[in-house]
Every structure is written in structure tokens, then in C-alpha cells.
Amino acid sequence: MIVITRFAPSPTGHLHVGNIRAALHNWLWARKSGGRFLLRLDDTDLERSRADYAASIRADLQWLGLGWDAEEKQSDRFALYEEKFQALKAAGHVYPAYETQQELELRRKILLGRGLPPVYDRAALALTPDQIAAYEAEGRTPHWRFKMDHDQPIVWTDLIRGEQRFDPKLLSDPVIRRADGSWLYMLPSVIDDVDMGVTHVLRGEDHVSNTATQIQMFVALGAPLPAFAHEALLTGSEGKLSKRLGSLGVAHFREIGLEPMAIASLLARLGSSQPIEPFTSLTPLVDSFDFAHFGRAPARFDEAELAALNQKIVHQLAYAEVADRLPDGMDAAAWDAIRPNLETVAGAADWWRVVTGPVDAPDAAQEDRDFLAAAHRILAEARFDADIWRTLTGALKEETGRKGKALFLPLRRALTGLDHGPDMGLLLPLIGRDAALARLKPGV
């Protein structure tokens, strides 16, 4: 069996962090299994679906390194849905219903008020021809529901949640088609999964009850069931569902300078028993991905953890991997010097400005002025090579008796304008003799 997974976003908005996690896990499972990963744009909502959102989804997946093997759009598949709908209708698996939204909402409130589950009562099945004729005379057009089979419990073994069991009598017959003929999510998704040969449906635990209903649709279509895996939803770092998670997406992550692999490293294992590590390649995440590692405990997403992970990844990146994102003139030696102080690659530009100048150094304290004058004299006379920092500080220590912070901090301030930063042994050769002398010049 060739494993086939799919990621099926609706192009009615941008991907958020929960979508990205689902896409990543589907991609990882397909790649680990030597299978295929499909992108399906669920754009049956023609009013809200937009081409720019679809383009954004594709761009986001590509930026994350999640290439797909084929793409489909549901809006191109309406003829197939119509064909399968008519077959289900002929077999008695779907039926028309004439209630208005207001009537359905009133029934729902009554049931809830009685402490009963708000399950549709199938009143439409009891309509007489005269009642139907009266509704149609009013101008009502029916919507269509899928008729659940109440005779057998719905049971499947979830790859994450274990055995799942539902009583179909407690599930409403879902509306699958609106009165205007447009499609809702449930049936087209199943038809597509069957037609595309999807073998594994991996999605959030908020779809568990949908799966129970859709299993009966697979059966009604005479199709084999895919394997299902429902993973715990993401929560905020405070442990509660966070609206902010719905707004965090690739645009935000790119804006703050995060690496794609930081996002992948965190989301690939979030909610699993495996350690979250700063990977610079998707390969180890593919090799280690396994549903058995995931549990039902909440998966806590913490932006601070993501930022720390990103920093560790940046510290591992070779010059060749970032050269096209660095300031003009910044070479491998400069990258090696500056990299340990970076949180993001974009931050290299700030440190490169420290190298190239000019720097806005604070006025030297009175007790440091003679010290810096001595530094200027020693630097002017010394051989300027890769060991110049050691030469300079060694000579100053011997001449002035200073050591530790008193020795190093005034020099760093004068040369960089800052109290902290990259190793001065690497930074000073990058600054160069002339610029360093200008920054140490007495009276400046």
C-alpha cells in the first residue's frame, strides 16, 4: 500500500500555527513512509475563497520546505460530487429537509432547555406529500441531509487516541448540501479522500465527531476506510486555548526573523513524548516521526520556546546557508564572529554596522582616558594580525596593571559603543587598524 496523506485548508484566510502543524505532520508521515503528500484546497465556499489566500498557502508551505506531490481544488470537482450525491440519493442515504434556520435554532434551544442533546429529530422524514407541496408553494427549497445508520455503533481504532466509539443515535444527520445547491464540508471531503486514494487522515481532535459521521459516508459510498489520527489541539503557554494561536502564521514568523526549521523543529514534536531539539534539516524529523509518540495531553505552544529554539538553530548555520541574507561585504569570518550573539539572521546587520561604523561610543570616564590613549599608542605600533586583541590587551595589562572588567570593558565601549557583544578577538580584526585607531583616538 502506498501511503497517501493530504492537507486540505480552505483558502478563506492565511494558515495559522495549528494549520501548519497539521500540514507538517501529514508531510512527515508521507515522507517517512515513502508515500505521497497531497495539497487539496477546500474551496467549496466560493464567496469567501480567494486566489490570493490560495497563493499564500502555497507560498507558506514552500517556505517551510513542505513540497506536495499533487494539488487539487474542490471547485474543479463539482461534477464528481453531483454524481456521488445522486447515487447516495437513489440508495436512500440522503434526504431533503425544509426547516428554516430559525426553526432549527428554536428546536435546538428547546432540547437544550430540557437537558437533552441537540440532535436533529428527523422530522423531515415524516413529511407527507401535501406538506412538502405546501412548503414548495411557499417557495422553500430543501437542503439535504445524510441519513445516519442508527443500527450499529461507530467504532474505529485511532492511531493516537486508541479505540473510539460513538452511538450514531446521538449524532445529528448532517446537512451536506444547502438549499442553494452549494456543498458543505462533510461529504465532498469524503468523496475526495476516496477518489484520491487517501490512506491516512491526520487532523485535530476537534474533528473526532466529524470522523464518526464521515465513516458512515465512506461505508455508504462502498469505499474502504482510511486510517485516522486525531492529535491534541494546541494551547497557549498558559495552558488555555488562545485566540492568539489563530493569528500566528508564517507572515508573523517571517516578520520576526524566525527560521523555517525552528518552526518545524517545535511543531513536529509538540504534543509528543520526544524531546524538542534544534534541527537544521527536516530529515531527522522525518526519520523519527511516529504516531506512537503522540498522546492526548494538551500540546502547549510557547513563543518564547520557539525563539530560544530559533537562536540555537541560527548558531548552527553555516555561512553558505545564510550568505544571501547577510549585509554586503560580510564574509564567512565575520559570520563566524557574529553568529554566537545572534537571535535571528537578520540581527547580523546590526552587528555588521558595529564593524563598519560609525559607532556612537559613550564619552570615556575620566579614569579611562589615559588608559585608552595608551591603547591607541600600543595599537598604532603593534603588528595588526589575527592575534591583535591578545597583543593589545596583554601589553595594556602589563603597562597599566589592569585586568578583568577594568581592562576589557573600556576597550569594548570605545571600539563598539556597547558593553557586550561578539568575541573581541574575532571582532577587532574585522574592524581593522584604521577604524580601531580612529575609535581609540585621544579626545574622541
Q: Binding site residues for ATP, as ranges?
A: 243
Phi, psi of 239 (to 5 degrees): 95, 0
Task: Please name which of 414, 419, 421, 420 lies closest in space to residue 436, comparing C-alpha atoms.
Answer: 414
Q: For residue 403, what are the contacts with CB-CB under 8 A and spacing of at least 6?
A: 397
Q: Which helix (H) or strand (E) element contains residue 91? A: none
**HSE-CB of 280 using CA atoms within 13 angstroms:** 10
In whole angstroms, give the CA distance from residue 375 to residue 437: 9
In whole angstroms, give the CA distance from residue 346 to residue 351: 10
Distance of CA 328 to the CA centre of its chain: 31
Task: Kindly list the distances between the CA atom of residue 62 and the CA atoms of 142, 281, 348, in Å, as whole numbers in the listed order.
Answer: 42, 15, 25
**HSE-CB of 155 using CA atoms within 13 angstroms:** 4
Task: Please name which of 407, 140, 161, 107 lies closest in space to residue 296, comparing C-alpha atoms.
Answer: 161
In whole angstroms, give the CA distance from residue 149 to residue 387: 81
Strands 70-73 and 94-97: unpaired
**What's the count of helices (H) and strands (E) in the chain, helices before strands?**
19, 12
Cell numbers that stand for 173 in this block = 444527520
Q: Which helix (H) or strand (E) element contains residue 183? A: none
| CA quadruple 255, 261, 265, 267: dihedral sign | positive
Cell numbers that stand for 142 in this block = 430543501
Annotated binding site: 243
In whole angstroms, give the CA distance from residue 209 to residue 242: 22
N- to C-terminal Cα separation, the chain: 75
